[in-house]
Amino acid sequence: MPHEKNFPNLIKLKYIHDGVDGCLTVMENHREIPFSIKRVYYINKLKNKHAVRGMHAHKKLKQAIFCLQGSFSLSIDNGLEERRIKMHKSHVGVYLPPKVWHVMRRFSEDCVIMVVASDFYRERDYIRDYNEFKKYLKKHP
């Protein structure tokens, strides 16, 4: 799937339904995931239905986000366009290129989110204030 520069895209993973033996979902570097994966993390046990997560952008980090179980709402903003996506299919994720503000909310109680990232955690890569994000985009189009 071609990925527009600085615009989130849907990622569809290989998904094989094996009847009573379950389902197999596969992701591979530079195939379904448009970068090399250096970090994987997940979020679960979201008991507060009013929780809001994310609320940041990254300067260089690339990510792909998946809802492995349950559902949540993902809001994305690249400075030109905003979208809201209902995340609820374990084999369909969203590619988040650098410079995309994202917010996660409306989690189901059983929600499990998995994120794969192109680099290790680096606090200096985060933009945690929306106004600073807008300023950053003007300086770094």
Q: Supply the DSSP string of 49-63, one letter for each residue.
A: TT--EEEEEESS--E
In this prediction, residues 11-36 reach a mean pLDDT of 91
User: Shortest CA distance to 104 belongs to which of 48, 36, 61?
Assistant: 48
Task: Determine, yes or no, domain membership for 63.
Answer: yes
Q: Is position 24 within any domain?
A: yes
pLDDT higher than 50, residue 3: no
Residue 45 belongs to a domain: yes
The domain that contains 71 carries what CATH number? 2.60.120.10
Residue 19 domain-assigned?
yes
C-alpha to C-alpha distance for 95 and 100, rounded to whole angstroms: 10
| Domain total in the chain | 1
Q: What is the pLDDT of residue 48?
A: 87
Q: How far apart are CA 78 and CA 94, in angstroms?
A: 13
66: containing domain: 9-139
As a whole number of angstroms, the distance between CA 47 and CA 14 comes to: 30
47 falls within a domain: yes
Structural domain includes residue 124:
yes
* 31-56: average pLDDT: 94
The token pair that represents 91 in the structure block: 């084999």
Q: Which of 6-20, 59-73, 79-93 has the lowest mean pLDDT?
A: 6-20
| Average pLDDT score over residue span 71-98 | 96
Tens of pLDDT, residues 49-82? 789 999 999 999 999 999 999 999 999 999 999 9
4 in any annotated domain = no
pLDDT computed for residue 136 by the predictor: 97
58 classed as catalytic: no
Confidence of residue 6 (pLDDT cuts 50, 70, 90): low
pLDDT of residue 18: 86
Q: Is residue 2 part of a domain?
A: no
Predicted pLDDT at 4: 47
30, 50, 56, 91: the active-site residue: 56
Where residue 1 falls among pLDDT bands split at 50, 70, 90?
Answer: very low
